[in-house]
């Protein structure tokens, strides 16, 4: 039963995708994927997604630790706000971020006098991906931290451990497997993110054009096979990265046990 559902919901659409590009022929698929513009878009999408997920490791970890270990007024509100990027329609996130970071926006206006552009440049893409990825990281780490008793940290402290030792020897090993899961989810979300990014990206070929936008552009040119080829390439790359992360997570868990 489970297999039938997974088959229907996941495998069938993917099979349709895998079948599509080959009408171009092997040579055509390779040619359509090795155009400089396509390579630039793939590099940008995967590079930005990995970078944003990596920074989210730190930011999400900090947010999770603060939410679990400290008590401050408005903590519940802050806890609820973390889920906002999940719930907002991506276009709304994109427009809100663009309004904020455009050269005439609150934050973009502060950077503009220094000749820095955030919206319509790569930093804008990075910020959008950071925004959509954060809740995955926080929600992956939070329960693990919650289950790690605070006394463990206190015990380490009474035994003479420095703050740094507590973080690297006690907390990090415990949350590492969960952090890898959070990283994988934040990355997966970011690499396929479309709605929020296209508003802030600038969408210039070779510079700020993400791979999902290139798929849409190919569709609008009625180049279905070319779009499917690019989608397939993204799927394969994502699969490889996620499989590697899965392996890493298992190793860490075994090490912990």
Partner 1 sequence: MQRFVILLAALLALAPAPLAPAWAQDTLLNVSYDPTRELYRAVNDAFAKAYQAESGRRVAIRTSHGGSGAQARAVLDGLEADVVTLAVASDIDAIAAKGLLAKNWATRLPDDSTPFTSTIVLLVRAGNPKQVKDWPDLIRPGIAVITPNPKTSGGARWNYLAALAWAMRQPGATEASGEEFLRKLFANVPVLDTGARGATNTFVQRGMGDVLIAWENEAMLAQQELGPGKFDVVYPSLSIRAEPPVAVVDSVVDKRGSRAAAEAYLRFLYTKPAQEIAARNHYRPRDTEVAARHAAEFPAIPMVGITEFGGWDKAQAAHFADGGVFDRIFAKGR
Determine which residue in the list 10, 91, 204, 244 makes contact with partner 1, applying CB under 8 A: 204
Distance CA 177, CA 256 (A): 9
Kindly state whether residue 221 participates in binding partner 1, applying the rule CB under 8 A.
yes
Determine which residue in the list 22, 65, 170, 203 makes contact with partner 1, applying CB under 8 A: 203
Determine which residue in the list 37, 43, 169, 255 makes contact with partner 1, applying CB under 8 A: 37
43 φ/ψ angles, rounded to the nearest 5 degrees: -60, -45
Kindly state whether residue 227 participates in binding partner 1, applying the rule CB under 8 A.
no
Residues 68-127, interacting with partner 1 (CB under 8 A): 98-99, 102-105, 117, 119-120
245 φ/ψ angles, rounded to the nearest 5 degrees: -65, -40
Here the tokens at position 83 are 């889920």
- The number of beta carbons lying within 10 Å of the beta carbon of residue 201 is 24
**From the CB of 57, what's the least distance to partner 1, in Å?**
31
Determine which residue in the list 162, 168, 206, 246 makes contact with partner 1, applying CB under 8 A: 206
73 φ/ψ angles, rounded to the nearest 5 degrees: -65, 135
Nearest to 252 by CA among 196, 178, 201: 178
Residue 241 CB partners (closer than 8 Å, separation 6+): 46, 50, 184, 187
Q: Considering beta carbons, is residue 7 or 13 the nearer one to partner 1?
A: 13
**From the CB of 202, what's the least distance to partner 1, in Å?**
5
Q: Considering beta carbons, is residue 103 or 192 the nearer one to partner 1?
A: 103
Kindly state whether residue 168 participates in binding partner 1, applying the rule CB under 8 A.
no
Distance CA 125, CA 93 (A): 12
| Contact positions vs partner 1 (CB under 8 A) | 36-37, 98-99, 102-105, 117, 119-120, 198, 202-207, 209, 216-217, 219-223, 226
């Amino acid at each position: 039963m489970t297999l039938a559902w997974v088959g229907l919901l996941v495998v069938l659409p993917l099979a349709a995708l895998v079948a599509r590009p080959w009408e171009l022929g092997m040579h055509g698929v390779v040619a359509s994927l090795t155009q400089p513009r396509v390579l630039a878009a793939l590099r940008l999408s995967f590079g930005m997604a990995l970078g944003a997920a990596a920074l989210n490791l730190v930011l999400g970890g900090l947010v999770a630790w603060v939410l679990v270990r400290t008590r401050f007024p408005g903590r519940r509100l802050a806890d609820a706000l973390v889920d906002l990027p999940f719930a907002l329609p991506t276009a709304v996130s994109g427009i809100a971020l663009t309004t904020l970071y455009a050269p005439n926006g609150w934050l973009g206006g502060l950077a503009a006098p220094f000749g820095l552009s955030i919206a319509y440049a790569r930093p804008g893409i990075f910020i959008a991906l950071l925004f959509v990825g954060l809740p995955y990281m926080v929600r992956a780490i939070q329960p693990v931290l919650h289950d790690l008793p605070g006394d463990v940290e206190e015990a380490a402290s009474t035994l003479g451990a420095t703050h740094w030792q507590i973080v690297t020897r006690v907390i990090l090993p415990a949350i590492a497997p969960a952090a890898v899961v959070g990283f994988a989810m934040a990355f997966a979300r970011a690499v396929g993110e479309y709605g929020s990014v296209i508003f802030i990206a600038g969408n210039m070929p070779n510079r700020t054009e993400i791979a999902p936008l290139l798929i849409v552009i190919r569709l609008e040119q009625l180049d279905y096979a070319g779009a499917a080829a690019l989608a397939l390439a993204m799927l394969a790359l994502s699969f490889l990265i996620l499989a590697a992360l899965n392996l890493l997570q298992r190793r860490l868990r075994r090490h912990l046990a």
